Structure 1
Amino acid sequence: MKPAILLILCLLIFPPLTFYRGQEPSAHNPTIDVPTLEQVLDRYVQALGGKSAIEKINSRASKGTFTSDKLRTNGPMELYAKTPNKQLMVLLAKGFGNYRRGFNGTVAWELYPGSDKANRMSGFSKRDADFYLAIKFRETYPNVALKGLEKLGERETSVLEAPAAGNPKRWYFDSQTGLLLRAESRNSSGKVLESVSYNDYRIVDGIQEPFNIRIVDRDGTDFNIKLSEVKHNVPIADVSFDEPEKKPQDRASANSPTAKPEVRFTSGNSATIPFEIDDDNEVFKIRVNDSPPLRFTIDTGSDVFAIITGSQAKRLGLTARDNYKVGVASVGEIEAASIPSAKLSLPGVEALNQRIEVIVSDEPADNGDQQIDGTLGFRFLKHFVVEIDYEAKTIKFFSTTNYKYHGSGEIIPVKIKDGTPMARLKLITASGKTIDSYFEIDSGLGGTFLFFTPAVKKYGLLEDMRTIQSPTSFEISGEYHRRIGRAKSVQLGSFMISNLPVSLSQNAEGSGIDGTLGEEVLRRFKVIFDFSHHRMILEPNSHFKEPYEEDMSGIALTAEKNGGQKLFRIRQVVPNTPASEAGLQADDLITAIDGLPAANFTEAGIERMFKQAEREFALFIKRGEKVIQVKLKLRRLI
């Protein structure tokens, strides 16, 4: 993966900055008075929160997600900065792996996916890394000058420019708010070489911080960053920013990292593995490096061999090649790492010398539920013909060379691009519009169909169908917002599905495809994935004709432990729904349902219960020190 020339973390010293999606500046309005250089810089400091507030901050830890349109990747990321000028960025890029970049005050370095040795960044600008650059701008750039006023999109800005070895730097400050909207470097002829834009600033501890950032480097590589949290004054060890040393072989690995990866049957040419349904996941047992059985799932939409949670990797003594946990444990584990060589064992199948990804996050929530320990991704599944029988609750693996299909199911052609399996679908909207496109086959998606945000806009779906707001869901990559509508029909091969609910994403960009086909459709078939022959075989099961329903309550909830008791916290109540009409509120705690304690239920189980039209439930709610009973009568919302 190509790095952005302008280091992301350097620019986060300009909190909160407004982002205008790469819009180029235009000529200014001559009727507006031009401020002085000192006025622009003074107003900027005041807009951020003032000098005294800025000086109270000595470190910054941010978490969020990123997407890159050019690289066609996305994933979680974390950013760290500490006085006087230390910075660190870590990310897990889908299809690439783990990437780290840092500056310890002396050396700037970056570590690419799959590499065990960091590279020095010779073009790094040390003065841009100053944690207090906002209040030391004039001192840091003594030759900075005011260029005048220019339009940036619809905003009037004051433009500052400083020479920088023939590639002058420019900063665009909002004339109304005083905040920085854009920073860029240009060549001698005025062409923009790289740029950073900012948006969605929010007050954190009295300081304005940017939560949306867009970076475009010299070759057009883009990083679109959306932060979910920013924390100040967290303890971060200085060693966290140091250039990583070359790692020795992982002593916890059962295989040599230099050995050839291998996937094989332990006997015969097939294997059958039972699974159980847990919170709508097909959970089966797997061992990693001869560990006790772990709880894994299958995800065709994950372009990796396998993923294991950071907590399980730690318990098993597995050491990732890039250890991201040093010095930042107090603010949460860094989210990306990899184990260079591991052994995975299933009944009848084993995989040797395989790289597996580690999602290094906080310890699992202590909510009384069993946790998922990991996932087998597309790069594992493509070694087999994989049959998932949702009724028999079995997963069968067959040899790709010996497999012959003799059933009555329908063969659906599968297109595979960049590790993404896709099937062609024809969807007809409520108004009769036809959408004929390829959708990613994603067994890890719990819903029916999801349109990514660009496709929602391209096809005008929000205007084409009646929709409702769905409660916000919280994924590993951050908050997920969507609206739900119903399609007149969806055709998959010769199978016609009528009146199907579809999700219209409001903040998921995707990676060049229109959307995904999820497991709520797949589970109504016996599904055979034969990726080596670019096909999927579907046999309808007894669930095929069941109606497709969505939430009928209007609440989003999460299990948690409270005083040693399992409860469900209501995260959100959607207006104009049975939940809001019943008087339920965010942060209410559900202690019992119809007289049964909350410990008897799972989150997915309640979600299924709340898809039954006209059902009424008695919810026992703890609100502050009070316990009240609420009658929740469901109705179909879409």
Structure 2
Amino acid sequence: MKRAVYLTLLGLCFLLIPLGTLAQLQPTTDSDTVYFTSNRKKINIPFKLVHNLVVIPVQINTSQPLNFILDSGVRNTLITRLYFSDSLDLKDASKITIKGLGEGHDIDAFFSTGNHMYMDGIKGDNHSVYVLMEDVFNLSTRMGMPVHGIIGYDIFKNFIVKINYSTKMLTLYRPDVKLRKKRKAEEYPLMIEGTKPYMVGTVKQHNGDTLDVKLIVDTGASHSLSLYLPTNEKLSLPPKVMEAYLGRGLSGDINGKIGRLSSFRLGKYKLENLTASYPDEEGIKLALNIADRNGNMGSDILKRFTVIFDYPHQRITLIPNHKFKEPFSYNMAGFEVSTPLPGTNFYVVSNVVDDSPANKVGVQAGDQLLHINGRDCTDLTLQELLEMLESKPGRKLRLRLKREQEILNVDFVLQSRI
């Protein structure tokens, strides 16, 4: 039986990549140095925003610029997929076995030290890299573009990092730069434990209970909140939830439930009727054993602000943007979309939820999407397509599909299940 798929929860697998766990299993180095290659005080790097995730160009050794997801929840650079034309020239590589979160098997990887990392105006020396032998995440097909890996702590620990989700601009400042405080900017403590950033927020559940929760601030998680029920007896499921496939950890699938919270507060900022995921305990048992936290806060919340991470001074600044009051949406069509040819606008249905609007009219996994509401899908970016599936209850969608050699036309109405 297939379960609900929550597209914006793709990033849960990034949160759950246990590179902190890898640090316990494998020797890592803190002697790497990442620095500006000039005397500039700041560097601006445009980024792409897909599934609420920040994608930036990074070069490893002699490689061409590769696409990396900027993830504040991971320690070391992780290569998840290389293409035929990609070459890294890795230094001092040794084969290791990794066990991560999720219900599945261990995977093989290479651990390499002594590498160089380059971004525009930035160089990293003695850089550590993990290279997965198996593309367990399928990031490229889910993101609609070639995605080669994930990078995090090496960037955040060395700079003040400003992410402007509205302008899609990443700004890196020298740690000694004093930023001028802007109107509406609110500064909060940021707890750096090990290599991970934490904040405390307050959730209000539908039973009226309010409680403080300690959360990883995770730019690599595309959802809003993920809460771990076993960490606090007062945490409870909302009255209306749906079974969901939440993503993949290094060791397999992570399942759970999705519902809505009455509200979530960060300091003076209050967000209402937001979606939240509740992973099954089996899929997150490793995380429960290695960290004192109640879950994580992802980019469906962060994208509503300009966010300034200041690891050197253990603080974070939030400046609300025009998306702050937008409702929290999710995929109400009941099917997941992937791109078998990353970088092209070629879309297929990769999963259909039982008893969903799409399922009821006969949409099947493997169907190619040709048109949606009269628009040729080859003219739509993946982000535009997903926004149509996540718009609002009651919206009618008209799909033209190709199944083998047959052309099908189906209509259905988006329905909220939570």
Identify the match of residue 43 of structure 2 among 271, 291, 295: 271
Say if 2:55 is the partner of 1:283. yes
Match of 1:468 in 2: 242
Letter of the structure 2 residue corresponding to residue 318 of structure 1: D
CA deviation digits over 1:21-48, x for unaligned, max 9?
xxxxxxxxxxxxxxxxxxxxxxxxxxxx
Which amino acid in 2 is paired with 1:266?
Answer: T
Match in the other structure for 1:301: 73
In structure 2, what residue type is equivalent to 1:263?
V
Counting aligned pairs with the same residue, the percent is 24
1:410 corresponds to: 186
Aligned-pair distance for 1:500? 1.2
CA–CA separation in structure 2 for the residues paired with 1:539 and 1:302? 24
Match of 1:569 in 2: 349
Q: Is the 8 A contact 2:116 2:126 kept in 1?
A: yes
Are 1:386 and 1:395, in contact at CA under 8 Å, matched by a contact in 2? yes
CA–CA distance in structure 1, aligned partners of residues 208 and 133 of structure 2 = 46
Q: Which moved more, 1:358-367 or 1:538-547?
A: 358-367
Partner Cα distance (2:311, 2:139) in 1: 36
Contact 1:472 1:556 in 2 (8 A): no
| Aligned residue identity for 1:431 | N
Cα separation, 2, equivalents of 1:333 and 1:489: 38
Where in structure 2 are the equivalents of 1:34-49 lying within 5 Å? none
Match of 1:358 in 2: 131
Q: Choose from 316, 332, 336 the match for 2:87.
A: 316
> What is the deviation of 1:540?
0.6
Residue 282 of structure 1 aligns with an amino acid whose one-letter code is: V
Whichever of the two has the greater Rg, that structure is 1
Q: Return the offset for 1:411.
A: 0.7
Contact 2:81 2:147 in 1 (8 A): no
Separation of aligned partners in 2, 1:591 and 1:287: 36
| CA-CA distance at 1:277 after TM superposition | 2.2
The one-letter code matched in structure 1 to 2:155 is: F
Contact 1:311 1:360 in 2 (8 A): no
Asked if residue 530 in structure 1 is aligned to residue 305 in structure 2, the reply is no
* Structure 1 residue aligned with 2:27: 114
Q: Report the Cα distance in structure 1 between the residues aligned to 2:204 and 2:34, rounded to whole angstroms.
A: 42
Query: What is the distance in 2 between the residues matched to 1:313 and 1:343?
Result: 21
Tell me if the contact between 2:347 and 2:369 (Cα under 8 Å) persists in the aligned partners. Answer: yes
Alignment partners' CA distance in 2, 1:324 and 1:384? 31
Write the distance in 1 (CA, Å) between the matches of 2:249 and 2:397. 27
Secondary structure, aligned partner of 1:97: helix
Q: Which residue of 2 aligns with 1:261?
A: 32
Matched, 1:97 2:10: no
Contact 1:453 1:508 in 2 (8 A): no
**Deviation for aligned residue 1:515:** 0.6
**Matched-pair contact (CA < 8 Å) for 2:306–2:320:** yes
Normalised by the length of structure 2, the TM-score is 0.81
Q: Which of 209, 226, 233 matches 1:458? A: 233
Inter-CA distance 489–588: structure 2 relative to 1 (3 Å threshold): same
Q: Separation in 1 of the partners of 2:246 and 2:302?
A: 24
Count of equivalent residues: 384
Change (3 A) 1:312 1:605: same
1:487 aligns with 2:267: no
For residue 149 of structure 2, the aligned residue among 357, 374, 377 is: 374
2: CA distance, partners of 1:450 / 1:301: 13
* Compared CA separation, residues 98 and 502, structure 1 to 2 (3 A): closer
What per-residue deviation string (whole Å, max 9, x for no partner) do you get for residues 472-522 of structure 1? Answer: 544554222232211111110110111111111123333331110000110
Q: Which residue of 2 aligns with 1:447?
A: 223
> 1:595 Cα shift?
4.1
Q: Structure 1 residues 448, 279: closer, same or farther in 2, change over 3 A? A: closer
Determine helix, strand or coil for the equivalent of 2:284.
coil
Amino acid at match of 2:236: L
Matched, 1:423 2:199: yes
Residue 168 of structure 2 aligns to which amino acid in structure 1? K
Checking the alignment, whether the CA contact within 8 Å between 1:554 and 1:580 is kept in structure 2 is yes
Asked whether the 8 Å contact 1:582–1:632 carries over to 2, the reply is yes
Query: Does the CA-based 8 Å contact 2:370-2:376 persist in structure 1?
Result: yes
| AA of the residue aligned to 1:478 | G
Q: Helix, strand or coil for the counterpart of 2:363?
A: coil
Cα deviation for residue 543 of structure 1 reads: 0.9
Q: Is the 8 A contact 1:568 1:598 kept in 2?
A: no
Q: Is the CA contact (8 Å cut-off) linking 1:324 and 1:334 kept in structure 2? A: no
Q: State the AA in 2 paired with 1:114.
A: P
1:395 and 2:170 aligned: yes
State the secondary structure of the residue aligned to 2:230. Answer: helix
Deviation string for 1:366-388 (max 9, x for gaps)?
A: 86942112322123311111011
Indicate yes or no: 2:403 matched with 1:630: no
Paired residues of 1:438 and 1:514 also in contact (CA < 8 A): yes
Q: For residue 8 of structure 2, what is the aligned residue in structure 1?
A: none
Deviations 1:414-441 (A, max 9, x none): 1122222110000010110112121110
Is contact 2:53–2:219 with CA below 8 Å preserved after alignment? Answer: no
CA positional deviation for 1:537? 0.2
CA deviations on 1:147-177 (whole Å, 9 max, x unpaired) are xxxxxxxxxxxxxxxxxxxxxxxxxxxxxxx
The change in CA–CA distance for 1:289 and 1:317 in structure 2 (over 3 A counts) is closer
Secondary structure, counterpart of 2:346 in structure 1: strand
Partner AA of 1:397 in structure 2: L
Once the two structures are superposed, residues 375-404 of structure 1 have per-residue CA deviations (whole angstroms, 9 ceiling, x without a partner) of 221233111110111112211111112334
Kindly report the root-mean-square deviation, in angstroms, between the aligned alpha carbons of the 2 structures.
Answer: 3.3
Superposition pairs for residues 72-221 of structure 1, below 5 Å? 94-97=19-22, 113-114=26-27
- Matched AA of 2:258: I
Unmatched 5+ stretches in structure 1? 1-72, 76-92, 100-111, 116-256, 326-331
SS where residue 311 of structure 1 aligns?
coil
User: What is the letter of the counterpart of residue 171 of structure 2?
Assistant: K
CA shift, 1:333, in A, is 12
> Are residues 1:508 and 2:288 paired?
no
Given that 2:64 and 2:86 are in contact with CA atoms closer than 8 Å, whether structure 1 keeps it comes out as no
